[in-house]
Amino acid sequence: MYHLHFGFDAQSPDELRALIRALRRHGKPLVQTVHDLRNPHHLDPGPHDAALDVLIPAADRLITLTRGAADEIERRWSRTARVLPHPHVVEEPELSMPRPPHDGFVVGVHAKSIRPNMRPLSVIHALAEIIEQLPDASLRVDIHTETGNPDAYAYAPHTLEALRSLADDGLIDLRIHDYFDDTQLWDYLRSLDLSVLPYAFGTHSGWLEACYDLGTAVAAPDCGYYAQQRPCFSYHMEDDGPDADTLRSAVLRARHENPAPRARPEARAAEREQIAAAHRALYEEVLR
């Protein structure tokens, strides 16, 4: 049996058809978990759509993470996908570790290496105006070192220049660093009260799962199915940036409802067992 999650970005539709023919030739069923209906690494949705047009009709069974994604799969391909939630991404002992106390309300935007679906500057500018009106709030912005490397694919000098200007004006706490390892990432997320996802398109989010595990609120755009995946605050995102009013509402609601809901470790463990059992049953079904 072949269970496909990710990793087919670099494969052409013809190569994917060849994969399916090979699986059929050897009597191996194909199970696909559809994480992304819009690929966050592609500005042009065409290549990912073409890949899904090959894979989804051919799969023996489909899984996805939310009801909205399953409904979209039904509309676009007339296929039924089983909805199974994403399991926890933070393991013990971090899953049960207390959140460290801190002063004020800390809002964070992690621009990472500025994926194609990110609009960090427009979101950060809007947040800086919002945070300036909240005396107990601060805005932390993180970005990867490679965005300042002229030889790197992620080189973004204009973005760095704009962020440094905001930092010089005292509007943001700017941190430029290499990729976090898991421990550093969990420590970072625990340091925030609200993590704002600066996405212009996408479907689901592992980052959202980690925040839920650690008790960090999330403000997510209303594209994709983030709000169906885990509890979060939604704001409206246009192609060129956020709607300021809905973003402000999301920040104020998160501040008012702080601390955010946090996954109970025992519930997450039970959920993971249920997800594993559901996968086992599905595998047994296609292997009969």
pLDDT in tens, 54-95: 999 999 999 999 999 999 999 999 999 999 999 999 999 999
pLDDT at res. 240: 84
Please identify every stretch of the chain with a pLDDT value under 50, giving residue numbers as ranges.
none
For residue 180, CA distances in Å to 29, 157, 159, 177, 188 come to 37, 21, 20, 8, 9
pLDDT at res. 181: 97
Please check whether residue 145 is in contact with residue 178, taking contact to mean a CB–CB distance below 8 angstroms. yes
pLDDT at res. 172: 98
Instruction: Give this prediction's pTM.
Output: 0.95
Please check whether residue 37 is in contact with residue 52, taking contact to mean a CB–CB distance below 8 angstroms. yes
